[in-house]
């Protein structure tokens, strides 16, 4: 009876040391905790901060582009909006031009919360930025961006329809 379905320990060490997915998940958890801690006095988590900040635009955006910007599933965005709506920080409105769409808008109170959180973000971000070797931050962002874009480039079924990628946030 082959007990030979054994992965050698050396392989485990290789995976531990090289897996980019593991490295990114670890950093994601650590940074999330760091920002969550820092932002707690403002009443926000890191994800809520990023989401609300992405809603701070001249024109209230629909959900699709916001989910794409945050690289999250659309159903995740629906769920993430719930607590923010309950707290009265975000408004979800119908778009009369297309009644399937929802328009997401920060309330005045939401903007105030975000304004209170901004200096905390600045200080926290400056601290982690300083902890990286000089010049690494920029390239790190580029690499992370490349990784974020990989979901679309990796053909999953043998045939792949063009994803119709909408612009997330114009500048």
Partner DNA sequence: TCTATTTATATTGATATCAATGTATTTGGT
Partner DNA sequence: ACCAAATACATTGATATCAATATAAATAGA
Contacts to DNA from residues 47-76, by CB under 7 A: 47-48, 62-64, 71-76
Cβ proximity to a second copy: between 22 and 79 the closer is: 22
In angstroms, how far apart are the furthest CA atoms of the chain?
69
Interacting residues with DNA between 140 and 159 (CB under 7 A): none
Only one of the segments 16-24, 28-36, 119-127, 130-138 lies at the binding site for DNA (rule: CB under 7 A); that segment is 28-36
Partner touching 69 among a second copy, DNA, none, CB below 5 to 8 Å by kind:
a second copy
Rounded-to-integer distance, Cα 122 and Cα 13, Å: 37
99's tokens: 């009644």
Annotate 50-62 with b (16+ C-beta within 10 A) or e (fewer): bbbebbeeeebbe
**CA 81 to each of CA 8, 75, 76, 87, 91: distance values in angstroms, whole numbers, following the listed order:** 45, 10, 9, 10, 9
The phi-psi region of residue 22 (left if phi > 0; otherwise alpha if psi is between -120 and 50; otherwise beta) is: alpha
Binds a second copy by CB under 8 A, chosen from 60, 63, 64, 69: 69
Cβ proximity to a second copy: between 47 and 64 the closer is: 47
| Inter-residue contact 101 to 60 (CB < 8 Å) | no
Interacting residues with a second copy between 114 and 153 (CB under 8 A): 114-115, 118, 121, 125, 127-129, 131-133, 136-137, 139-141, 143-151, 153
- Write out the residues near DNA by the rule CB under 7 A: 25, 29, 32-33, 36-37, 45, 47-48, 62-64, 71-83, 86, 92, 98-102, 161, 164, 166
């Amino acid at each position: 009876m082959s007990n030979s379905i054994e992965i050698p320990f050396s392989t485990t060490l290789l995976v531990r040391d090289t897996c980019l997915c593991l490295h990114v998940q670890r950093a994601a958890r650590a940074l999330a905790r760091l920002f969550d801690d820092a932002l707690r006095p403002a009443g926000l988590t890191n994800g809520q901060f990023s989401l609300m900040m992405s809603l701070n635009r001249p024109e209230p955006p629909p959900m699709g582009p916001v989910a794409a910007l945050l690289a999250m599933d659309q159903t995740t965005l629906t769920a993430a909006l719930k607590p923010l709506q309950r707290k009265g920080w975000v408004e979800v409105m119908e778009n009369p031009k297309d009644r399937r769409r929802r328009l997401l808008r920060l309330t005045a109170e939401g903007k105030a919360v975000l304004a209170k959180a901004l200096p905390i973000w600045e200080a926290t971000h400056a601290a982690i930025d300083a902890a990286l070797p000089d010049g690494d931050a920029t390239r790190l962002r580029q690499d992370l961006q490349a990784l974020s874009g990989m979901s679309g480039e990796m053909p999953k079924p043998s045939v792949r329809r063009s994803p119709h990628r909408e612009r997330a946030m114009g500048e």
